[in-house]
């Protein structure tokens, strides 16, 4: 499993995050709202998008050590500003300072840190006819590849 999938599984399995982003469809089946890179047009807020923005790999005199420190931008979207802040707070509480297992496939993480937090917005698109507020968290996840 990739570190991206492990991160997604870890974030949406957190009870505080899940309470904000897990929805039930018309058949009563629950599904999460965390998407890589962008959300589909049919996504209903609140939801989360994420993308890997960079990766540093550790090296020594012998070459690569197998240790990586990817950075991810996690964007928390909601129909209200306070909703975006609340969702980002839940994600931050789940991720910041975490070490140990992450995800269903037992990805071991040395450390995960929130490095930065800022507001973002989704431009109004005539196609989707929606305007969402966002809060971006930049996180770094130290792990073995």
Domains by residue range for the chain, with CATH: 3-144 (3.30.2000)
Choose among 139, 142, 140: nearest CA to 109: 142
Helix 81-95 to helix 3-13 angle, to the nearest 10 degrees? 110
pLDDT for the residue 32: 64
pLDDT for the residue 44: 82
pLDDT for the residue 51: 96
| Reported pTM | 0.86
Residues in the chain: 145
Would the pLDDT of 64 be above 60?
yes
- For residue range 78-129, list pLDDT tens digits in order: 999 999 999 999 999 999 999 888 876 656 788 999 999 999 977 666 666 6
Average pLDDT (36-52) is: 89
By the 8 A CB rule, do 31 and 23 touch?
Answer: yes
pLDDT for the residue 126: 64
pLDDT for the residue 31: 59
Would the pLDDT of 16 be above 90?
yes
Would the pLDDT of 143 be above 60?
yes
3-state class (DSSP) for residue 103: coil
Burial (Cβ within 10 Å: 0-12, 13-18, ≥19) of residue 75:
buried
Query: pLDDT class for 15, splitting at 50, 70, 90?
Result: very high
- What average pLDDT does the structure give for the chain? 86
């Amino acid at each position: 499993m990739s570190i991206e999938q492990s991160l997604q599984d870890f974030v949406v399995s957190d009870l505080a995050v899940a309470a904000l982003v897990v929805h039930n469809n018309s058949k009563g089946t629950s599904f999460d709202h965390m998407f890589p890179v962008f959300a589909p047009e049919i996504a209903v807020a609140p939801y989360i998008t994420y993308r890997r923005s960079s990766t540093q790999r550790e090296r020594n005199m012998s070459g690569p050590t197998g240790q990586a420190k990817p950075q991810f931008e996690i964007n928390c979207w909601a129909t209200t500003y306070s909703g975006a802040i609340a969702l980002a707070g839940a994600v931050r509480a789940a991720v910041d300072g975490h070490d140990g297992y992450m995800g269903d496939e037992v990805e071991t993480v040395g450390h995960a840190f929130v490095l930065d937090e800022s507001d973002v917005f989704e431009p109004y698109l005539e196609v989707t006819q929606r305007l969402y507020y966002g809060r971006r968290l930049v996180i770094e996840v130290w792990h073995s590849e």
